[in-house]
Amino acid sequence: MATVSFKSATRIYPGSDTPAVDKLNLEIEDGEFMVLVGPSGCGKSTSLRMLAGLEEVNEGSIYIGDRDVTHRPPKERDIAMVFQNYALYPHMSVADNMGFALKMQGVSKEDRAKRVMEAAKLLGLEEYLERKPKALSGGQRQRVAMGRAIVRNPQVFLMDEPLSNLDAKLRVQTRTQIAELQQRLGVTTVYVTHDQVEAMTMGDRVAVLKDGLLQQVDTPLNLYDNPKNKFVAGFIGSPAMNLLTADITDGGAKLGDYTIPIDRSVLAKAGSDKTLTVGVRPEAFKVADEGLPVKVAVVEELGADAYLYGTAEHSDDHQQIVARIDARMSVEKGSTVRLAAVPDKLHLFSTSTDERLTA
């Protein structure tokens, strides 16, 4: 197994002035499951491909363990990659697909069969070894692609959106299997996804990227509880955090006729700004007598909980609001309710820098 280090790694595509990945500094521990997440075009897949040796590194360096692999070809990096589209050979059986890389390495037939069988047992594929890929479901094909990576005993697994071709139910099931398998094997894994729920549920740590820049890297819970800036706050969490622009007043933040009490020492951090961004998670809103007036559009009932979707009516700028409420609470569509924010669960950001304001 091995650590992975990106040291100011930069990739600029020919014909572009803006780096796809801009001075990425990231340390991945031995045996860690690291997830790279962000919107389309943020540089997460490019970062993975740089690590794999499929993209050139224009500046900086990449280390696997204590080896500088920046300019080494992929075959010398001791990595195994699982792609989004499975990349299986259609004319080969499952067993031959899984053992193909070993065959190319000159591994004996007996040893190859042994390693393929071990991986098949691990993935529940024993009964499918003689089948061709076309006779398998999407989930089974993805497990074959995983098996092909496992038999190689690499130092690092690289996974590029491996679940995006699966249906919703199978995606949830397979992500649990991948996380459990990685923990059992203890192989350092770098996993790319655009789905922040996938990132939060699978990663030991999560690295959030935007426009080629690393925004924050932390455990899923710390990203949720202490986002470093407005982008991370809005990206991590489902449903997304409510981000409201409020006027700074003496001792609070004012939204129409509703004032949220905020410590003066935090307000002082806003400097010369006249406004700040108040971040409120859906579960940090409570229905109250005094609060932000919200016109109810939809109530999504989920059994134990319900999500109230509505429009804040505190200014000319009508803003969408999501709040988690008790499913037994009777709220009519089209009615107006008042929502009060729980003061100790607020996230406050500068409107000029988008950075988090802390006391």
On whether both 290 and 229 belong to a single domain, the answer is no
Domain that holds residue 203: 4-233
> Are 181 and 54 members of one domain?
yes
Last residue of a domain, one of 184, 209, 233: 233
- What is the residue-wise DSSP string for 154-174? -SEEEEESTTTTS-HHHHHHH
Residue 123 in any domain: the answer is: yes
Question: How high is the pLDDT of residue 251?
Answer: 79
Domain count, the chain: 2
The pLDDT score that the predictor gives to residue 359 is: 54
**Same domain for 280 and 164?**
no
Residue 182 sits in the same domain as residue 161: yes
Instruction: Report the pLDDT value the prediction gives residue 316, as an integer from 0 to 100.
Output: 65
Phi, psi (rounded to 5 degrees) for 179: -60, -40
Residue 292's CATH number? 2.40.50.140
Same domain, yes or no: 319 and 259: yes
Q: Are residues 298 and 227 in the same domain?
A: no
As a whole number of angstroms, the distance between CA 226 and CA 208 comes to: 13
What is the per-residue pLDDT across 184-209, written as a single tens digit (0 to 9) for each? Answer: 889 999 999 999 899 999 999 999 99
What DSSP letter does each residue of 303-318 carry, written as one string? SSEEEEEEEE-SSSS-
Tell whether 200 and 273 lie within a shared domain. Answer: no
27 and 155 in one domain? yes
Where the chain has pLDDT below 70, the residues are 1, 314-317, 359
Task: Kindly state whether residues 82 and 204 are assigned to the same domain.
Answer: yes
Return d(Cα 138, Cα 176) in angstroms, integer.
16
Give the end of a domain, one of 193, 217, 233: 233
Inside any domain, residue 17: yes
